[in-house]
Amino acid sequence: MSNKKEWPLFEIFIRSKNGLEHRHAGSLHAADPTMALENARDVYTRRQEGVSIWVVESKDIHASNPEQAGELFEPAKDKVYRHPTFYELPIELKHI
């Protein structure tokens, strides 16, 4: 298996229902985007998990460097006033 030519890796995003955002579900191998969509349908939506699928080739995703986590994320740590936690939300509001 491993010595065969591998298909490229795709990242799969599934929207679980209309109105919600697509969420990262996992990844899989496929020869091209069409096959990636079909494979994603079979691997990630066989229990009715989704109404829409996005696939992105993994190499097209640019990621932040974990080594820079300190300078990137820590400055936000002590700035609670950036959270909208001082508002009371109506109970009808969901998914926030």
Q: Which of 14, 25, 28, 53 is the binder for another protein (CB under 8 A)?
A: 28
Residue 12 binding another protein, by CB under 8 A: no
Residue 54 binding another protein, by CB under 8 A: no
Residue 26 binding another protein, by CB under 8 A: no
52-75 CB burial, b ≥16 within 10 A, e <16: ebbbeeeeeeeeeeeeeeeeeeee
Coil/strand/helix, residue 80:
helix
Q: How far is the CB of 52 from another protein (least distance, A)?
A: 16
Can you tell me the distance from the alpha carbon of 13 to that of 27, in angstroms, rounded to the nearest whole number? 9
The residues of the shown chain that bind another protein, judged by CB under 8 A, are: 7, 28-31, 34-35, 38-39, 42-43, 46
